[in-house]
Amino acid sequence: MTVRIAQISDAHLGASRDPFGPNFDLAAQHIRDARPDLLLATGDLSLDGADSDADLAAAWARHAAIGVEWRAVPGNHDVGDEAALGGRQPWNGARAARWATVAGPRCWLHDLPGWRLIGLDTQSLISDAGQWDFLAGALADAGGRAIALVQHKPLTEQGLSDDAVNYWPVLPAPRGRLLALLGGMRPALVLSGHLHMWRDRVGDGIRQVWAPSTGFVVGDRWQEALGEKRIGWVEHHFHADGTHDCVLRDIPLARPHDLGDMPEVYGPLEPVTQA
């Protein structure tokens, strides 16, 4: 048996300002036409759900209106980010409560034949100790199923030895804790978003699939190109024998917005510095 899953990410939908809504509407219809068994949204559903009830509620409703059974994990624009990163919207109890009211749990498990999907909030792995109890339990009774982590941030950008502390991947300390919890095992798969790039790569025994955004890319002037800067979604096939394959789906007629050219959305971006 094979389960077909559509992964959608980083829609950045707003209630009053909604520059990426038209691309999302095209993606939504494309996914309806594809008739997947399940839809996964890997964070940044909203333009500014970290501070706006209306944005988070609108973004949630529009994902639900696709009309497919679905699960979602929050992104930094939905619940804020680790306080250790020093950003203007730190993850905290109030932001987590907003997500809980609108969307429900921030971490969850979902079993498929041969697989266990584990949804995590990668913006609070330092701040929310309770998430580790959930994760330990989800791993302990997986019953031999292959493990797929479903999260907003990638586990790494390059490899498990990454020691950079920055906005993009799971931070080194919680990454180490996660690997320690797994013992000598590795997750079979990590599905993420956040970078607004498409990449499907195996490294250090872990296959990581980065879903692109449905809404926009960040041009090379402002973000290093570690994957393909495309607009789209990912179609996954989860097989009962614990294997998996996936393919990028482009969104016909979607506009290739570049956030660097849209300072009115989140402010001007800092150019990347060349080494």
Under 8 Å between Cβ of 27 and 13: no
Rounded to a whole number of angstroms, the minimum distance from the CB of residue 23 to Fe ion is 13
Classify residue 177 by burial, with Cβ atoms within 10 Å: 0-12, 13-18, 19+: middle
Q: Which amino acid is at 36?
A: P
DSSP 198: B
Alpha helices in 35-107 (DSSP H): 53-64, 76-79, 93-103
Measured CA distances, 74 to 119, 123, 265 (Å): 9, 8, 20
Rounded to a whole number of angstroms, the minimum distance from the CB of residue 226 to Fe ion is 15
Taking the least distance from each CB to Fe ion, the nearer of 10 and 48 is 10
Rounded to a whole number of angstroms, the minimum distance from the CB of residue 194 to Fe ion is 4
* Chain positions contacting Fe ion, by CB under 5 A: 10, 44, 75-76, 194
Taking the least distance from each CB to Fe ion, the nearer of 124 and 138 is 124
Taking the least distance from each CB to Fe ion, the nearer of 24 and 238 is 24
Rounded to a whole number of angstroms, the minimum distance from the CB of residue 58 to Fe ion is 16
Under 8 Å between Cβ of 161 and 192: no
Taking the least distance from each CB to Fe ion, the nearer of 10 and 157 is 10
